[in-house]
Amino acid sequence: MPRIILLGPPGAGKGTQADLVVEKLGIPKFSSGDLLRMAVKEGTPLGLEAKAYMDRGDLVPDQVVIGLIEEQLRQPGAAQGWILDGFPRTVAQAEALDQTLEKLGQPWERVIFFDVPDEAIEQRLLNRGRSDDQPEVIRHRLHVYRQETVPVVHFYQKSEGFAHLDGNRDPAAVHADMMALIGNGIP
């Protein structure tokens, strides 16, 4: 089963496409954002700590996010394949993830980068209507993305399993290209 990392700016369609793949292939999806929002909703100490960062549009510290992801990858269902939606977000997280995956014997097989222009991202996020999707927070998130996450794209671009996907198209076209990458590129 496939082990896939989806990268791209917030609002690029990673979650939507991951959900479609999960539905087709029956593998789990792990989104750092969903895991963090769940921890915030449950009011756990980790969730309360994460909330302060999320409300400002800043990245939650690596050790918090990596701990949540590793916990999920250790679940029995993850041994058959998984999708990481929007993680890793920093080079340090990418390096820690690679070490964790090696330790678990679950190396990633494909990294797919969703490329979408900032203007389209801003509009998508404003239309999404979450409480943290305010114009100033969106601009800050995109700035943080360019500083922190774009280097992750460069980190993985050197790898054979890296693929670039134009995410600024009809979701059905994006999905068809993504399934072709998954179906044809993973043993």
- By residue range, what is the domain housing residue 127? 3-31+80-185
Sign of CA dihedral 96, 98, 99, 103: positive
Task: Assess if residue 24 is contained within a domain.
Answer: yes
Q: Which residue in the block uniquely carries the two structure tokens 């769940």?
A: 38
Sign of CA dihedral 54, 10, 30, 108: negative
User: Would you say 143 and 57 are in contact if contact means Cβ atoms under 8 Å apart?
Assistant: no
pLDDT at 180: 94
pLDDT at 29: 95
Task: Assess if residue 39 is contained within a domain.
Answer: no
Task: Assess if residue 8 is contained within a domain.
Answer: yes
Task: Assess if residue 173 is contained within a domain.
Answer: yes
Length of the chain in residues, anyone? 187
**DSSP letters along 81-125, please?**
-EEEES---SHHHHHHHHHHHHHHT----EEEEEE--HHHHHHHH
- Mind listing the pLDDT tens digit of every residue in the chain (187 residues)? 799 999 999 899 999 999 999 999 999 999 887 888 887 898 877 788 888 888 888 878 888 788 788 878 888 889 889 999 989 988 999 999 999 999 999 999 999 999 999 999 999 999 987 887 889 999 999 999 999 899 999 999 999 999 999 999 999 999 999 999 998 444 4
166 burial (CB, 10 Å; 0-12 / 13-18 / 19+) is: exposed
Task: Assess if residue 107 is contained within a domain.
Answer: yes
Write the CA distances from 69 to 46, 79, 99, 134, 167, integer angstroms.
Answer: 13, 14, 13, 27, 25
Task: Assess if residue 20 is contained within a domain.
Answer: yes
CATH number of the domain at 170, please. 3.40.50.300
In total, how many domains does the chain have? 1
pLDDT at 65: 84
Sign of CA dihedral 45, 148, 130, 177: negative
pLDDT at 71: 79
pLDDT at 181: 92
Q: Report the 10 Å Cβ neighbour count for 163.
A: 17
Task: Assess if residue 40 is contained within a domain.
Answer: no
Task: Please tell me whether the peptide bond between 28 and the residue prior to it is cis, using omega within 30 degrees of 0.
Answer: no
Task: Assess if residue 55 is contained within a domain.
Answer: no
